Amino acid sequence: PLQQVDVDAADQLAGLMRQWAPQPIDMRWLAPEHLLGALQEAAPTGVRDADPAFWMARLEALRLSNRPDQFDETAIDYCVTYEVSPPSWERARCQVRASNASASTSTPSMSMVSEVSSSFLDTGMLDDGQPQQQLATVELSGQLAGDISGTLSQLDRKLGASTLVHVSCARLIRVDFIAAGDLLNWVLSKQTENRSITFIEAHRLVALFFGAMGINEHARVQVPRD
């Protein structure tokens, strides 16, 4: 089995896989875990001296083999290691069949536009006569990818005069780096409006990504309890 990959091979392999991605070809990979393991061993998380070519080859292999969750986890590790943004997930057109899987790894179609819904709690009075803060609850779902200014504008129209904003992420599948940057800027703009933002029911990977992007420094991020 494959045990080691050198830098030149990793660089050329990443380039080759980028060429394969948009092509309507069908491939069969035998024991791809050996390749992924060798690439990970060559560039562990947190080791900045390791050549980024190993990371690029690993990310491309995960993309071609249709593993978006592992791709995002690896992308976060890359971000933490080098403090730069890695490539965003893009659906590959080619199909890869792994030796240990009977089904194709062709990526299913996924919506690139998030849904937005909202609900409001009526403003009331506390026992001591002080008014409660108005709470707006909105939802993000599906995928957030690329420029999401339109989606964020929809959120803004739902907020009204609320000073507390809960953003439900229960149905949010993933967020790419461009969208996360837009979301961070949105959170910062809400801070200037004296609004408090809390992302609720965020899946673990989404919460980790928010942390890597610094969103959790300006908003609360809550994950579901086990």
Q: What is the pLDDT of residues 71-103, one digit of tens each?
A: 988 988 898 888 787 777 888 999 999 876 444
Provide the pLDDT confidence category of residue 204 given band limits of 50, 70 and 90: confident
| Cβ partners under 8 Å of residue 18, min gap 6 | 60
Give the residues across from 200 on adjacent strands. 168
pTM of the model: 0.62
Residue 124: its pLDDT value, please? 39
- The full set of domain ranges for the chain reads 7-98, 118-221
Q: What percentage of the chain carries pLDDT values higher than 90?
A: 56
Which residue carries 């050996």 as its tokens? Answer: 34
pLDDT at 109 over 70: no
Which CA distances in Å does 109 have to 87, 90, 93, 151, 184?
Answer: 19, 11, 11, 20, 27
pLDDT in tens, 21-52: 999 999 999 989 999 999 999 999 989 999 99
The band of 176, judged by pLDDT with boundaries at 50, 70 and 90, is confident
- CATH topology for 118-221 is Transcription Regulator spoIIAA (3.30.750)
Mean pLDDT of 146-160: 92
Across all residues in the chain, what is the average pLDDT?
A: 84
User: With 70 as the cut, is the pLDDT of residue 210 above it?
Assistant: yes
d(C-alpha 95, C-alpha 26), whole Å: 5
